[in-house]
Chains A and B, each alone.
Chain A
Amino acid sequence: MSAPNKAYDPVEAATLSAGELQRMQADALAAIAAAANLDELKTARLAHAGDRAPLTLANAEIGALPPAARADAGKRVGTARAAVRAALVQRQADLEAERDRRVLVDEAVDVTLPWDRPMSLDGARHPVTTVGERLADVFVSMGYEIAEGPEVEAEWYNFDALNFPPDHPAREMQDTIFVAGAEPGERSGMVLRTHTSPVQIRAMLTRPLPLYVVSPGKCYRSDALDATHSPVFHQIECLAVDEGLTMADLRGAINAFVEAMFGEGLQTRLRPDFFPFTEPSADVSMQCHVCRGASAQPGGQPCRVCRSQGWIELAGCGMVNPRVLVACGIDPDRYSGFAFGLGIERSVLVRHGVADIRDTLEGDVRFSRAFGMEA
């Protein structure tokens, strides 16, 4: 390239002749027109509009012309370069449009193909886990905390502290599985917990008052396995101990829970029952969430879920027996409490219309998969 000197060198400035510029422009336009795709156009752009392109070099020579000639040469170079730029823009647009048209056709796929998560299998959580979490979360959202305890439990926690007197028939109701003693025939003082209620005792002994806990967990009874009973099952219980708690608070908690779990506006019903650790005690039924009681009315359609009873037995509940408070060192004259517990499998059965509890036990992948990640 020529240095910007004052000495005019017509040889060096030959590239700025009109004929030469016209040839450069024609070459460029031909190359642009000939570019069949965007890659070729990119090559053409480099060759004819890049830093080393003839027109670019010609432009640099303008400075070498005598001042009188510069304006004219500049105008001619500028015109030529503008024409090339315009052609590039146009060709770019044409080629992009063509590419888009082609892509839409060539790259179209059948999005309905069963591309069943080829990178992994179809995983799922067990509904007893997910329904259990939901049940717990209803209470957690009310401010309860989740308390947990062991499954192999001392008899004292499982029975005595819960006001099951020794040899009382109430213990027999629970079909207990006992841990063997050191020698055959000897006692161990330990059982597989028959309910999650011992966690209540543990919570009352270790947590400050007032106390609001919910305890989900596995329980064991030597029941025969049938469509509605399993020897290994899960329960969830809530326990509240505070000043001034009444059965009205218990009913409020039950109603809030049933609404959250089964739907708004479902009625609940308490009927007297017996649990050693609550007094008064009640069983809880809720209006059937499917037929809303209509099946029990004259002329109602039969309901499979509540067996046309209109009500579904759901849980046991009551006011914490003052004897239980005493065994936990809580002053029953100052504090009262309520407790409320239900089977998680039973909730799964009721909520999802599962007919046989054994479906929850067998580990058949089809069962869990139907529930996915959250119930």
Chain B
Amino acid sequence: MRLPLSWLLEYAAIDVSPDDADGVADLSRRLTACGLEVESVEPVGHDISGVVVAEVLDVAELTGFSKPIRYCRVSIADGQQRHVICGARNFAAGDRVALALPGAMLPGGFEIGARKTYGRVSEGMICSALELAVGEDHSGIMVLPADAPLGADFVTYAGLRDVVFDINVTPDKGFALSVRGVARELAISCQVPFTDPADVGLPADATATSPEVHPVSIEDTTACDRIVLREVRGIDPATPTPLAMKIRLARAGQRSVSLAVDVTNYLMLELGQPLHAFDRARLHGPVVVRRAQPGEKLETLDHVVRTLDPEDILITDESGPISLAGTMGGVATEVSDSSHDVVIEAAHFSARGIARMSRRHKLGSEASARFERGVDPQLPHRASARATTMLAALGGGTVVPGCSFAGAEIEPVRIAMAADYPDRLAGLVYGLETVQKRLREVGCAVAHMPGSAADRSDGAGAGSGAAAGGGEGAARPDHGRHDRPDLTLLVTAPSWRPDLTDPADLAEEVIRLEGYQNIPARAVRAVGGRGLTGRQRLRRSLSRALAADGYVEVICSPFTSVLDFDRLQLPAGDQRRQAVRLANPLSDDEPLMRTTLLPGIFRTLARNLGRGFTDVSLYELGMVFRPKSGAPPLAPILPVDRAPTEQEVARLGAALPDQPLHVAAVMTGNAEPAGYWGAGRPAGWQDAIEAARLVLRSSRLTFSVRADQHQPWHPGRCAAIVIGTEQGQEWLAGHAGELHPRVIAAFGLPARTSAMELDLSVITAAADAAGPVQPPSLWSYPLAVQDVALVVPQAVPAADVERALAAGAAAAGDVRLESLSLFDLYTGGQVGEGFKSLAYTLRFRAPDRTLTAEEVRGARDAAVAEAARQTGAVQRGG
């Protein structure tokens, strides 16, 4: 909201000049401090000099140029006559104009000189509104009123020196989208008198109705609860808008259109009430406010023909829709340069209805912005009365006395609030007098609730006098008590503050006007927290473990597409193809939420490779989204006047997708860098599986690595990571290995790129269930070490051999296999084609004795026998 200082000062009696930078900065600070954030303070008119009011004495038309040019003789009543070249044609001899003399400065640092042009010397320039930054009009020069004093400095004459505040109005503060609202806040902040512009220039009885005025009715009172029509007849449509009004409109960012439209816009800016002017001659029969009927259409002022929705709120006449209520008028009834009789409409429309309609038609306007945020329902009578009075006075017409009105009286909002509630919320003592004073300043009527405990006196000045009124800093930040804690106030909110509905809203008014800077800071009290959960700690541990192992954490885009699923070679029925679809995605190319982290991290890898890195290992922790099968299609909107029931919460939960946390890693180039020490070690499937192991080791869960086939991995180089319990339960945690060559090609990655992805939700759930660590007994009897070499077919997984050895050893009696490790893997001539030799070290120990050689051999033999049974292993050299 852009508002010039001069306009605000008309209603807030503050003595500050636009040239007083400190005074202006103070006002800007005050506005921000009371919740109207000033985004910019822009001095205007300061950069104009040397422009004076001149009279055109005569005009000579020059011919022979590409366009008609005028050579004018002008006077500024200083005894000299000057000649000026001008390309505009909208003036005549005798008109008064703004003349920039040689040496004049125009906005933007544009200097005017005497110069020769079109074969003549031009001693200055006649200015358009645009050139003086007081409007957008550049179709002709600005013709000034006939009484503009000749020779006067134009800046002074037009009051151009001003300051424009650009205020960011939050959605709750509809009242601040007006001079009325902002000036009131300034007056309160400066503790100066405020004149309400809504009280200015009203007829004796603003609500009197008259059958002379065009009739109006409301068909749907949920769409509109009040509407007022008034009429002005016999205005001269050619009357120009007064310069001062044009300047204010321009400063507020509003284009000047015509006198009737400018008056409605001017009053909207001043009062906050959107107004619409209809050409009376173009209205057919009574005006009715109603919802749209199926198939109705309306061409709005922006020349778009809009198909209407049955929910749309319309102003209609017998011809059909004539205006999108509170949003934009229609072209058919628009005032034009031939409109002599004008009907002014002012109404109070449903905020929600206008919001929905404006959204539906993607049509926001100054009017809809105000209605959405709440307009004073008492304004239609007043604003329309001012509009007709102003229009008649400026345009030479006659006001038809009275109005036509449809609608009901609107009951003001009454709120009961404990007198000390603002104090209790802020944490300091304001006291009754201050609370009442502040509420009255914003326009509330404050009474004491009959029967409330402290109704024993009139309240004013009663009590201990803990706080005196009068501006900021009056409140005492101590731990005293409010003087009337037992009193309940009955507060009637002013009609212009539809945002005041609850005690908390009233408390905020008191607290913000008393100043947030006066709220003390109380030392933090320690509360009994339990620290991080196991899951939260695990997430941090594995993140650190991966980073320590050389992986760089990245945060990738969570959006994806069917194309990504194809690139991953996912089969048709794969669960990962079931994705959450977005109604309004950021990009139509990626309308889905990810079901796997891999495409995002692949793209991030590609970006790094594109920037010249070759050895890159990345990881990401993030949610993926998996719609539940059979989920209801709609998450219901529950009531908010009570807590939802368990069933209601469950219905919300049922509609939401599963959102497990995943971890993924991808690696290419060298896992161990090359250098002067020698060659590097290329990253490969082992690194992917090791990254998965790293994560599982952080969790301390028992897990196994198994050969598997799963997209997008290489079918011969893919491992499933399976969590197992001693009770035999198993959970698939995820997969790791080298990527399928087609996937590598589809994502443009280097050959042999490897990756892993694990479902952390599975891992953390298993870890939660696992209970505390059970440390081993640290037996100190001597260790007995045995090596065995086993020959098995190539296809037998090493993990199977290992598991069988362990199982065999475990069954061998009172001997503990403390550890088992592979120390050699051999393929080649000595073991025969299609076979491999796996050499293990087995370490045995007993709790209570030194093992005999015989016991150790027995255990080893039992282990080997079980491996032979399960995997066909043959002991080498045995």
Known: A271-B516, A365-B552. A246 touches B581 (CB 8 A): no
Task: Name the contact of A186 in the complex, choosing from B554, B633, B638, B673 (C-beta under 8 A).
Answer: B633
B659 touches A180 (CB 8 A): no
Task: Name the contact of B427 in the complex, choosing from A143, A242, A247, A365 (C-beta under 8 A).
Answer: A247
A328 within 8 A of B: yes
Name which residue of chain B comes closest to A186, CB basis. Answer: B633
Task: Name the contact of A118 in the complex, choosing from B504, B511, B616, B677 (C-beta under 8 A).
Answer: B677
B113 within 8 A of A: no
Within 8 A of B (CB), among A93-131: 113-126, 128-129
Instruction: Name which of B35, B359, B582, B621 has the most chain A CB atoms within 10 A of its CB.
Output: B582
Give the chain A neighbours of B621 by CB distance below 8 A.
129
Instruction: Name which of A336, A364, A365 has the most chain B CB atoms within 10 A of its CB.
Output: A365
Task: Name the contact of A145 in the complex, choosing from B356, B529, B583, B676 (C-beta under 8 A).
Answer: B529
B786 within 8 A of A: no
A252 touches B532 (CB 8 A): no
User: B506 CB to closest chain A CB, in angstroms?
Assistant: 10
Within 8 A of B (CB), among A159-207: 160-161, 163, 165-170, 172-173, 177-182, 186-190, 192, 205
A272 within 8 A of B: yes
Can you spell out 26 A-B residue pairs with CB atoms less than 8 angstroms apart? A121-B550, A123-B546, A126-B554, A143-B527, A143-B528, A145-B530, A146-B536, A151-B623, A169-B369, A179-B583, A180-B591, A205-B644, A205-B649, A240-B527, A247-B425, A249-B427, A251-B519, A253-B524, A270-B519, A271-B32, A271-B37, A280-B425, A326-B640, A360-B555, A363-B604, A363-B618
Give the chain B neighbours of A251 by CB distance below 8 A.
519-522
A140 touches B529 (CB 8 A): yes
Q: 12 extra interchain contacts, Cβ-Cβ under 8 A, other than A128-B555, A154-B656?
A: A122-B550, A129-B553, A140-B529, A151-B659, A156-B635, A177-B585, A205-B643, A247-B516, A269-B516, A319-B425, A363-B555, A364-B607
Task: Name the contact of A177 in the complex, choosing from B351, B536, B584 (C-beta under 8 A).
Answer: B584
Q: Could you list which residues of chain A lie within 8 angstroms of chain B, going by C-beta atoms?
A: 113-126, 128-129, 133, 140, 142-146, 150-157, 160-161, 163, 165-170, 172-173, 177-182, 186-190, 192, 205, 210, 212, 218, 222, 231-232, 240, 242, 244, 246-249, 251-256, 269-274, 276, 279-282, 319, 321-323, 326-330, 336, 360-365, 368-369, 373
Give the chain A neighbours of B618 by CB distance below 8 A.
363, 365
B773 within 8 A of A: no
Task: Name the contact of A246 in the complex, choosing from B522, B523, B643, B672 (C-beta under 8 A).
Answer: B522
A254 CA to B557 CA, complexed, in Å = 32
A154 CA to B633 CA, complexed, in Å = 12
A123 touches B643 (CB 8 A): no
Known: A272-B516, A323-B502. A125 touches B524 (CB 8 A): no
Q: Could you list which residues of chain B lie within 8 angstroms of chain A, going by C-beta atoms?
A: 32-35, 37, 170-173, 351-352, 355-356, 359, 369, 372-373, 424-428, 477, 502-505, 507-508, 511-512, 516-517, 519-533, 536, 540, 543-544, 546-558, 580-586, 591, 593, 604, 607-608, 611, 613, 615-618, 621-623, 625, 633-638, 640-644, 649, 652, 655-657, 659, 670-673, 675-677
A163 CA to B501 CA, complexed, in Å = 13
A364 CA to B550 CA, complexed, in Å = 15
A326 touches B641 (CB 8 A): yes
User: B602 CB to closest chain A CB, in angstroms?
Assistant: 11
Give the chain A neighbours of B34 by CB distance below 8 A.
272
A117 CA to B548 CA, complexed, in Å = 11
B547 touches A373 (CB 8 A): yes
Known: A319-B425, A326-B641. A232 touches B656 (CB 8 A): no
User: B597 CB to closest chain A CB, in angstroms?
Assistant: 12
B553 touches A368 (CB 8 A): yes
A125 touches B607 (CB 8 A): no
Give the chain B neighbours of A152 by CB distance below 8 A.
580, 593, 625, 656-657, 659
Known: A118-B672, A140-B529, A274-B173. A153 touches B656 (CB 8 A): yes
A125 touches B635 (CB 8 A): no
A118 CA to B675 CA, complexed, in Å = 8
User: B769 CB to closest chain A CB, in angstroms?
Assistant: 19
Task: Name the contact of A129 in the complex, choosing from B172, B504, B543, B655 (C-beta under 8 A).
Answer: B543
A274 touches B172 (CB 8 A): yes
Known: A118-B672, A248-B428, A368-B553. A181 touches B35 (CB 8 A): no
B635 touches A188 (CB 8 A): yes
B641 touches A327 (CB 8 A): yes
User: A74 CB to closest chain B CB, in angstroms?
Assistant: 41
Give the chain B neighbours of A369 by CB distance below 8 A.
552
A140 touches B635 (CB 8 A): no
A113 touches B548 (CB 8 A): no
Known: A329-B643, A369-B552. A143 touches B529 (CB 8 A): yes
Give the chain B neighbours of A273 by CB distance below 8 A.
35, 37, 170
A163 CA to B520 CA, complexed, in Å = 28
User: B587 CB to closest chain A CB, in angstroms?
Assistant: 10
User: B656 CB to closest chain A CB, in angstroms?
Assistant: 6
Task: Name the contact of A248 in the complex, choosing from B522, B652, B656 (C-beta under 8 A).
Answer: B522
B521 touches A248 (CB 8 A): yes
A120 touches B425 (CB 8 A): no
Give the chain B neighbours of A186 by CB distance below 8 A.
633-634
B623 touches A218 (CB 8 A): yes
A142 touches B527 (CB 8 A): yes
Name which residue of chain A comes closest to B499, CB basis. Answer: A274
A143 CA to B508 CA, complexed, in Å = 29
A144 touches B527 (CB 8 A): yes
Name which residue of chain B comes closest to A189, CB basis. Answer: B635
A282 CA to B512 CA, complexed, in Å = 9
A247 touches B675 (CB 8 A): no
A253 CA to B523 CA, complexed, in Å = 8
Give the chain A neighbours of B623 by CB distance below 8 A.
150-151, 218
B519 touches A121 (CB 8 A): no
Task: Name the contact of B504 in the complex, choosing from A119, A123, A188, A319 (C-beta under 8 A).
Answer: A319
Task: Name the contact of A126 in the complex, choosing from B508, B528, B555, B659 (C-beta under 8 A).
Answer: B555
User: A208 CB to closest chain B CB, in angstroms?
Assistant: 11
Name which residue of chain B comes closest to A369, CB basis. Answer: B552
A124 CA to B586 CA, complexed, in Å = 29
Please list the 10 inter-chain residue pairs (A to B) with the smallest Cβ-Cβ separation, ordered nearest first: A329-B643, A246-B427, A248-B427, A272-B35, A189-B635, A274-B170, A363-B554, A120-B550, A363-B604, A121-B550
Task: Name the contact of A222 in the complex, choosing from B35, B586, B635, B657 (C-beta under 8 A).
Answer: B586
B581 touches A180 (CB 8 A): yes
User: B823 CB to closest chain A CB, in angstroms?
Assistant: 20
User: A22 CB to closest chain B CB, in angstroms?
Assistant: 47
Give the chain A neighbours of B591 by CB distance below 8 A.
180
B586 touches A177 (CB 8 A): yes
Give the chain A neighbours of B528 by CB distance below 8 A.
143
A142 touches B526 (CB 8 A): yes
Task: Name the contact of A144 in the complex, choosing from B35, B521, B529, B611 (C-beta under 8 A).
Answer: B529
Task: Name the contact of A368 in the complex, choosing from B32, B536, B552 (C-beta under 8 A).
Answer: B552
Name which residue of chain A comes closest to B424, CB basis. Answer: A246
Task: Name the contact of A232 in the complex, choosing from B173, B351, B516, B557 (C-beta under 8 A).
Answer: B557
Give the chain B neighbours of A368 by CB distance below 8 A.
552-554
A160 CA to B426 CA, complexed, in Å = 26
A327 touches B643 (CB 8 A): yes
B504 touches A248 (CB 8 A): no
B633 touches A181 (CB 8 A): yes
Name which residue of chain A comes closest to B170, CB basis. Answer: A274
B549 touches A123 (CB 8 A): yes
A363 touches B556 (CB 8 A): yes
Known: A118-B677, A205-B644, A232-B557. A249 touches B32 (CB 8 A): no
B640 touches A160 (CB 8 A): yes
B522 touches A125 (CB 8 A): no
A244 CA to B424 CA, complexed, in Å = 8
Give the chain A neighbours of B531 by CB distance below 8 A.
140, 145
B522 touches A120 (CB 8 A): no
Task: Name the contact of B522 in the complex, choosing from A124, A163, A249 (C-beta under 8 A).
Answer: A249
Give the chain B neighbours of A153 by CB distance below 8 A.
656
A156 touches B638 (CB 8 A): yes
Give the chain A neighbours of B636 by CB distance below 8 A.
156, 189
